Amino acid sequence: MTTTMRALAPAPDGRMQLVQVPIPSPGPGRIFVEVKVSAVNEMDVQVRAGGWGPQVKRFRKTGPVVTGFEFAGVARSDGARIKVGDRVIGYVHVLDGPRVHADFACVAEADMQVIPPDLNDEDAAALVVMGLTAIEILERLKRLSVGQRCLVIGAAGGVGAYAVQLARSQGASVGAVCSSANAGWVESLGATEIRPYESEPRYRPGDRFDLVIDCPAKFSFREAAPCLAKDGMYVTTNPLADAAGFARAALTSRKAGYLMMLTTTPAKLSRLVELHGQGALRPVIDGVFDMEDADAAFDRFETRGKQGRVLLKISS
Ligand SMILES: NC(=O)c1ccc[n+]([C@@H]2O[C@H](COP(=O)([O-])OP(=O)(O)OC[C@H]3O[C@@H](n4cnc5c(N)ncnc54)[C@H](OP(=O)(O)O)[C@@H]3O)[C@@H](O)[C@H]2O)c1
């Protein structure tokens, strides 16, 4: 019987390598999952570059795999709720450690949900973290209503492409900051106005947005504030980078929304699937790479001009 599996590991030369590691076995509360498709995200490429040293050391104590948070796959063990053979999606708790860039992973049952037959593995994997992030922003931090105005900066990326769709489905008009090359694609997602970042400023005199979403987290509440409506909100994907903004926002009627999505729940994953079923969240896939081409996938993630998510096909 095979006791090892394929997994990705960061090599000392700053690239990813395919290695054989022991197949993990599930402890209490965990499901043994055959991973079908995963996605690449920011923390994965930072780990490849040698980042997150102390955390990576800690993650290695629970298994050798140190990249991959989100996945679509098939349950190969029974839990209280999930049964063998169920097709599932999941988002591994960030503090529990990435682990799904491998043929198999043991994932907390609380971090996954069953998906319907009409949602294929690639679409499902493409939705997970960035779809959940868009929901967190637009259903928990600031739900929009018909006629309100939203500006999504970085609208062609993973978070941005889902945020545009969700804001539009709530009836808001959606301004989008993206490259001119991606303007048509972002419009097809529902953006009502495009501001190409090469040729136009993000903000215009007279702007009054109910919500500004800064996906690349390169800007600030201070810059956004004059263009926010009275009860408007600025949300950055890296609130730790704009601590001054939170202090400043506390002194005005304008808000800075704190986004920090370290984990998920079955209910949140169900909501993601529900919104997909309603047509409010269409999966956005820039490219799908074989596990053997992980470096190309990671490189693509770091390339400007993407349209949505970069996926890794783990098994066929
Ligand atoms: N706080 C949380 O809980 C949370 C949750 C999820 C994600 N995140 C973070 O959110 C960030 C975005 O993730 P993602 O997967 O959406 O990344 P992504 O797919 O790389 O998207 C980033 C987008 O920002 C755009 N961009 C970069 N520089 C820009 C600039 N100067 N002006 C305008 N747009 C610019 C990019 O456009 P071009 O490609 O055209 O340059 C791209 O469309 C990551 O840092 C991730 O770690 C945080």
Q: Is residue 160 part of a domain?
A: yes
Residue with tokens 């970085």: 154
| 113 CA to centre of ligand 1 in angstroms | 26
pLDDT 10s digits, 77-119: 999 999 999 999 999 999 989 999 999 999 999 999 999 999 9
- The residues, any chain, with a CB within 8 Å of residue 219's CB and separated by 6 or more, are 153, 202, 236
Q: Are 277 and 65 in contact (CB under 8 A)?
A: no
**pLDDT cut 90: percent of the chain above it:** 95
Q: Is residue 270 part of a domain?
A: no
Pull the structure tokens for residue 90. 């999941």
Domain end point (choices 257, 275, 300): 257
Q: Are 169 and 190 in contact (CB under 8 A)?
A: yes
Q: Is residue 290 part of a domain?
A: yes
pLDDT reported for residue 289? 98
pLDDT reported for residue 143? 98
Chain-centre distance of CA 20, in angstroms? 27
Q: Are 178 and 118 in contact (CB under 8 A)?
A: no
Looking at the DSSP bridge assignments, the partners of residue 17 are 9
pLDDT reported for residue 103? 97
Q: Kindly state if the Cβ of 149 falls inside 6 Å of ligand 1.
A: no
Ligand 1 atom having least distance to the Cα of 303: 39
What is the total count of domains within the chain? 2
Same domain, yes or no: 244 and 138:
yes
* Half-sphere CA count of 172, side-chain side, radius 13 A: 27
pLDDT 10s digits, 226-238: 999 999 999 999 9
Ligand 1 atom having least distance to the Cα of 262: 3
Which residue owns the Cα nearest ligand 1 atom 14? 158
pLDDT reported for residue 140? 98
Pull the structure tokens for residue 238. 């890296």
Same domain, yes or no: 214 and 297:
no
Same domain, yes or no: 215 and 289:
no
pLDDT reported for residue 262? 95
Residue type at 47? V
Same domain, yes or no: 30 and 83:
yes
CATH value at residue 172: 3.40.50.720
Average pLDDT over residues 31-38: 98
Segments forming the whole domain that contains residue 290:
4-114+284-313
CATH value at residue 64: 3.90.180.10
Which residue owns the Cα nearest ligand 1 atom 26? 154
In this prediction, residue 60 has a pLDDT band, given cuts at 50, 70 and 90, of: confident
In this prediction, residue 1 has a pLDDT band, given cuts at 50, 70 and 90, of: confident
**pLDDT cut 70: percent of the chain above it:** 100
* Half-sphere CA count of 18, side-chain side, radius 13 A: 11
Which residue owns the Cα nearest ligand 1 atom 36? 154
Q: Kindly state if the Cβ of 154 falls inside 6 Å of ligand 1.
A: yes
Residue with tokens 């309100």: 148
Q: Kindly state if the Cβ of 133 falls inside 6 Å of ligand 1.
A: yes
Does the structure show a pLDDT above 70 at 193?
A: yes
pLDDT reported for residue 230? 95
| 151 CA to centre of ligand 1 in angstroms | 14
Q: pTM of the entire structure? A: 0.98
| 40 CA to centre of ligand 1 in angstroms | 13
Q: Kindly state if the Cβ of 196 falls inside 6 Å of ligand 1.
A: no
Q: Is residue 181 part of a domain?
A: yes
Same domain, yes or no: 108 and 210:
no
The SS3 call for residue 55 is helix
Q: What is the mean pLDDT of the chain?
A: 96
Average pLDDT over residues 123-141: 98
Testing ligand 1's pocket by substitution, the residue of 41, 42, 138 carrying the most ligand atoms inside 8 A of its CB is 42
Same domain, yes or no: 185 and 295:
no
SS (H, E, C) 253-287: CCEEECCCCCCCCHHHHHHHHHHHHCCCCCCCEEE
Average pLDDT over residues 135-146: 98
pLDDT 10s digits, 213-257: 999 999 999 999 999 999 999 999 999 999 999 999 999 999 999
Q: Kindly state if the Cβ of 261 falls inside 6 Å of ligand 1.
A: yes
Q: Kindly state if the Cβ of 160 falls inside 6 Å of ligand 1.
A: yes
Residue 128: which H helix or E strand, with range? helix 121-135
Average pLDDT over residues 188-213: 98
The SS3 call for residue 226 is helix
Residue 211 DSSP class: E
Same domain, yes or no: 171 and 212:
yes
The SS3 call for residue 292 is helix
Same domain, yes or no: 208 and 141:
yes
Does the structure show a pLDDT above 80 at 282?
A: yes
Of 196, 195, 192, 193, nearest in space to 180 by CA: 196
Q: Is residue 151 part of a domain?
A: yes
Same domain, yes or no: 159 and 221:
yes
Same domain, yes or no: 156 and 105:
no
Q: Kindly state if the Cβ of 307 falls inside 6 Å of ligand 1.
A: no
Q: Kindly state if the Cβ of 179 falls inside 6 Å of ligand 1.
A: yes
**Region for 83 from its dihedrals, namely left if φ exceeds 0, alpha if ψ lies in -120 to 50, beta otherwise:** beta
Q: Is residue 276 part of a domain?
A: no
Same domain, yes or no: 143 and 247:
yes
Does the structure show a pLDDT above 90 at 316?
A: no
Looking at the DSSP bridge assignments, the partners of residue 31 are 107
Domain end point (choices 242, 257, 272): 257
pLDDT 10s digits, 146-189: 999 999 999 999 999 999 999 999 999 999 999 999 999 999 99
- The residues, any chain, with a CB within 8 Å of residue 205's CB and separated by 6 or more, are none
Q: Is residue 121 part of a domain?
A: no
Testing ligand 1's pocket by substitution, the residue of 159, 259, 310 carrying the most ligand atoms inside 8 A of its CB is 159
Average pLDDT over residues 34-61: 94
Q: Is residue 20 part of a domain?
A: yes
pLDDT reported for residue 61? 84
Same domain, yes or no: 90 and 19:
yes
Give the CA distances from residue 255 to residues 148, 249, 297, 298, in Å, rounded to whole numbers and listed in that order: 16, 5, 36, 35
In this prediction, residue 19 has a pLDDT band, given cuts at 50, 70 and 90, of: very high
